[in-house]
Structure 1
Amino acid sequence: MAVSLQVLYPISDGTTFDFDYYTSTHFAIVGEHMGEHVESMLVTKGLAGGPDVPPGYHAVASLVFADQDALNAAMEVAGPVLADIPKFTNVQPQMLIGEVLS
């Protein structure tokens, strides 16, 4: 069964996020190190948390893997990806691993 890894970057006072670096450099690092294991990836930039509500997240990245083994293989080589995070944000990302239902 397919599994997903979602990486959420919450907004709080004093947090920063460099979208230019994230899209131009970090995406390439993810592709270089984890890409062969990823079936698809969707990245969303937070615009709002609802009508007239500011966003709660700078961004959410959703990566889909064929199965748990593929996710495990990707995580084994994710060191450079994780080490790159402080280059575009001072946020401690939250992660959610889940079973893809649809």
Structure 2
Amino acid sequence: MIKVSVLYPNTDDLVFDKEYYINKHVALVSERLGDALKNAQVDFGIAGGTPDSKAAFVVMTHMTFDSLESFQESFGPHSDEILSDIANFTNCQPQLQISEIKI
């Protein structure tokens, strides 16, 4: 199993429409990735590790797939549509990390 994490940095000039993200973008991604997407979790950052510090990421979305190939095959044909939707809810560029799940 692999996990694809999409991380949206929490910057001073950040604009992020959480309602659009949850109600439209996540639904779009889920629909396009279909059965290849095994699980998805969206976390909204609320604080950093020290008192009164802001979260490093405003949103972290974690999606699990059976393999890297299943992610690539499901995402590839829809990448332009999914990536172009980002401008509808934020002004930041997300970071992507792909991890192998061991435990």
Give TM-score, length-normalised by structure 2: 0.91
Contact 2:3 2:101 (C-alpha < 8 Å) held by counterparts? yes
**Structure 1 CA distance, aligned partners of 2:45 and 2:74?**
26
- The Cα RMSD (Å) is 1.1
Residue aligning to 1:98? 99
Give TM-score, length-normalised by structure 1: 0.92
Residue 62 of structure 1 pairs with residue 45 of structure 2: no
Contact 2:32 2:75 (C-alpha < 8 Å) held by counterparts? no
Residue aligning to 1:81? 82
Q: Which runs of 5+ in 1 are unaligned?
A: none
Q: Which amino acid aligns with 1:68?
A: L
**Structure 2 CA distance, aligned partners of 1:41 and 1:29?**
13
Describe the superposition over 1:11-33 as per-residue Cα deviations: whole angstroms up to 9, x where unpaired: 11211110010011111101111
Contact 1:34 1:77 (C-alpha < 8 Å) held by counterparts? no
Q: Which runs of 5+ in 2 are unaligned?
A: none
**Structure 2 CA distance, aligned partners of 1:93 and 1:35?**
22
**Structure 1 CA distance, aligned partners of 2:6 and 2:84?**
14
Number of aligned pairs?
Answer: 101
**Structure 1 CA distance, aligned partners of 2:11 and 2:65?**
30
Residue aligning to 2:42? 43
